[in-house]
Structure 1
Amino acid sequence: MYVRETGDAHAPPLLLLHGGGVAGWMWRPALDRLGTSHRAIIPDLPGHGRSAAEAYRSHEETARALVQILEERAPNGATVAGFSLGAQLTILLAATRPGLVARAVVVSAQAKPLRFPGATLGLLAATAPLARREWFARLQARQLLIPDELLADYVRDSVRTSRETLLATVGENIRFTLPSGWAAFPNRAMVMVGERERTLMHASARAVHAALPGSRLITVPGCGHGIPLQRPDLFAEVLAERHPFGP
């Protein structure tokens, strides 16, 4: 798995887990505002970005690889922040290896599985070849709220995303349920959802929050499914713990 690091090598570690269909570059706007207050560890998840050659297979396999990264680069624990697909992985890491997760920031995690995932995956399989067309990637970028300065990154990576990765990531995403260990996570956790997200995402955010006593649930005004991209200034404040929501 390709991993990049930014920031002060002696600063507190921060593991950033991107969403499906994008890559580590999605954190660039927030990191530009974060400065050197943290040492950011930024993987491109399997099947994405510079890790595209190795297809995404499962959350479980990916979480095991992320545990290795944390053990090597932040053995005393790190703030782990994830968006969408990466938010589900954040929950898994917190549930299974809480000693490596000093704080969890869960952004737009679907935690209510779809009732008929087979129908969704069948339609996705039929339309998967479109993902390799630049015109389609540009249309998708608008839906995903990709800013203009990251559009070239999105189009480049969308075109090289394999059908296997696309089906695996979406399949894992729409079937995801909260692991039992999440309720016992002993450290701080913040759950974030955009005000304009779908009803399913709001229900998921409430479920993630309700399952973990002491977690915080934040609804971000004016945002859809793209808080780190729509409000990188606010998200940087969340990561640095200097945001208006308090600690």
Structure 2
Amino acid sequence: MDAKELFVYESGTQNAKTIVFLHGSGSCSNMWLKHIAALDSSFHCIAPDLPGHGRSNHIEWSDMDKVADEIAELIKAKSNGKVHVVGLSLGGSLIYKLLEKYPDLIDKAIIDGASAVPIKGASFVIFGVNITSPFLKTNMMIKIMANSLGIPDEEFESFKGDIRMVSRKSFRKAMSQANRQKIDVENCTFSSPTFFVSGESESENMHNSHQILSKKIPNSECAYYPAKGHAWMVSDVQTHIQLLKYWFLNDSFPTKLKSF
């Protein structure tokens, strides 16, 4: 796969520092449009549709390493020096690979809802994905997913459109690989300051790995959103945007996030 084949949404100030936005599994670059609108006066923003997703659905998902390589090539081609990067879920899992393989490309990072080690019940999650993926694009399954993620009614049609663009095979592969990924947190040598964030009700394994890594990686932090799960950003996008402003612009810390 050539990085030039990926669909990339690009906006903002061309000569400014670049933020790379990496979406979650089943979604696409559309999930970042509100963030980009809030930040593109200060940054050059690029948001690719990952392989098998959105307008890159004609490109099959390969594996985490190869997709990270393509994101690195995209960064080299489009960025102005070292970049900031933010990723949710699958996108966050890819950031672990970027921090490991391409530290010279990354200035600061935000990893949301992506564990550095397999979460408890990961095998069950993977089994569930494999069983339900044939029905992924049905109205019933999309409604179930939207309800579980807390998608607002006014955003349901956009969510449905994103799901119906995804390749079922790529969805299965990406979800399986992300849930199996394991970082050696105790011997981590990442150097880019990283903010780790999650919903309070997410896996204890995720919370623990975030806390360990935030202490291992210089100038890093971690926090959680109270009383919410994996998709807390959906119900409070403004707090998520404020997190980006805090980490990338030294703005005020989001009041709704809590430190461990």
TM-score calculated relative to the size of structure 1 = 0.88
State the Cα distance separating 1:93 from its structure 2 match: 0.5
Higher relative contact order (CA 8 A, sep 6+): 1
Taking the aligned partners of 2:24 and 2:16, their CA distance within structure 1 comes to: 25
State the Cα distance separating 1:90 from its structure 2 match: 0.9
Q: Report the aligned-residue RMSD.
A: 2.5
Mapped pair 1:243 → 2:252: yes
What pairs with 1:1-247 in structure 2 (closer than 5 Å)? Answer: 1-74=6-79, 76-113=81-118, 120-178=125-183, 183-240=188-245, 241=249, 242-244=251-253
Determine helix, strand or coil for the equivalent of 2:230: coil
Taking the aligned partners of 1:182 and 1:94, their CA distance within structure 2 comes to: 14
* Distance of aligned partners of 1:84 and 1:3 in 2 relative to their CA distance in 1, 3 Å threshold: same
| Matched AA of 1:126 | I
Q: Could you tell me whether the CA contact under 8 Å between 2:196 and 2:221 is conserved in 1? A: yes
* Distance of aligned partners of 1:22 and 1:198 in 2 relative to their CA distance in 1, 3 Å threshold: same
Q: Could you tell me whether the CA contact under 8 Å between 2:116 and 2:209 is conserved in 1? A: yes
User: Equivalent pairs: percent with the same residue?
Assistant: 25
State the Cα distance separating 1:58 from its structure 2 match: 1.1
Q: Which runs of 5+ in 1 are unaligned?
A: none
Taking the aligned partners of 2:135 and 2:20, their CA distance within structure 1 comes to: 32
Q: Which moved more, 1:228-237 or 1:163-172?
A: 228-237
For residues 64-112 of structure 1, give each alpha carbon's deviation from its aligned partner in whole angstroms, at most 9, with x where no partner exists.
1101000011151100111111001111101111111010111111222
For residues 44-68 of structure 1, give each alpha carbon's deviation from its aligned partner in whole angstroms, at most 9, with x where no partner exists.
0001111111121211111011010
TM-score calculated relative to the size of structure 2 = 0.84
Q: Could you tell me whether the CA contact under 8 Å between 2:107 and 2:192 is conserved in 1? A: yes
Q: Could you tell me whether the CA contact under 8 Å between 1:22 and 1:48 is conserved in 2? A: yes
Taking the aligned partners of 2:165 and 2:94, their CA distance within structure 1 comes to: 23
Q: Could you tell me whether the CA contact under 8 Å between 1:29 and 1:229 is conserved in 2? A: no
Q: Could you tell me whether the CA contact under 8 Å between 1:192 and 1:217 is conserved in 2? A: yes
| Matched AA of 2:189 | A
Q: Could you tell me whether the CA contact under 8 Å between 2:185 and 2:213 is conserved in 1? A: no
Taking the aligned partners of 2:116 and 2:199, their CA distance within structure 1 comes to: 15
